Amino acid sequence: MSKTVFILNGPNLNLLGKRQPEIYGSDTLDDVTSNCAAVAAEFGLEIDLRQSNHEGELIDWIHEARENAVGIVMNPAAFTHTSVAILDALNTFEGPVFEVHISQVHKRESFRHHSYVSMRADGVMAGFGIEGYALAMRRMGALVGN
Ligand code: DQA
């Protein structure tokens, strides 16, 4: 059976490409999917990319990953900075976790400088645009791929 990496995206990322393009660029989540699928294929992995505006749904997907995924790449969006519940959920997952931010959060408002998710993440990408997801997938491939 092929190994799957969950790529989980938090609130407002459904609008990627339309939302504040001066910060987040004009690429969409579909572009993220195709870039990450290409990297995954190099390592014999599959991806399952999902987006939700709801904290509880993201938590349910992290729990699902315990059974159905070998790793998680996550852009928790604004929940990065607020959600102990997402941190707790990620702490129940045993595989690699990579945190991705499209923008360079440390150059932005101070409330974006703290991440609960970074307390669990095995690596963090910030400010590489959507390329950050593909770079995280490359590292994931090295760790859990063929
Ligand atoms: C983001 C950065 C967060 O601070 C913000 O709330 C987002 C997107 C990023 O990808 O740069 O929604 O995670």
Quickly state the pLDDT bin for 78 (edges 50, 70, 90). very high
In ligand 1, which atom is closest to the CA atom of 76?
13
Name the pTM for this structure: 0.98
Which is catalytic among the residues 54, 63, 101, 106?
A: 101
List the residue whose alpha carbon is closest to atom 6 of ligand 1: 78
In ligand 1, which atom is closest to the CA atom of 78?
6
24 has catalytic annotation? yes
Q: Which domains does the chain have, with CATH numbers?
A: 4-144 (3.40.50.9100)
- The pocket around ligand 1, CB under 6 angstroms, is made up of 12, 75, 77-78, 80, 101-103, 105, 112
From residue 50, alpha-carbon distances to 12, 106, 145 in Å are: 12, 25, 21
Burial grade of 11 (CB within 10 A; 0-12, 13-18, 19 or more): middle
In ligand 1, which atom is closest to the CA atom of 13?
12
Task: Indicate whether 69 pLDDT > 80.
Answer: yes
> Using CA atoms, how far apart are residues 70 and 117, in angstroms rounded to an integer?
18
List the residue whose alpha carbon is closest to atom 13 of ligand 1: 77
Mean pLDDT of the chain: 97
Note the pLDDT tens digit of each residue in 6-59.
999 999 999 999 999 999 999 999 999 999 999 999 999 999 999 999 999 999
Choose which residue among 102, 107, 111, 133 to substitute to test ligand 1 binding: the one with the highest number of ligand atoms within 8 A of its C-beta. 102
116 has catalytic annotation? no
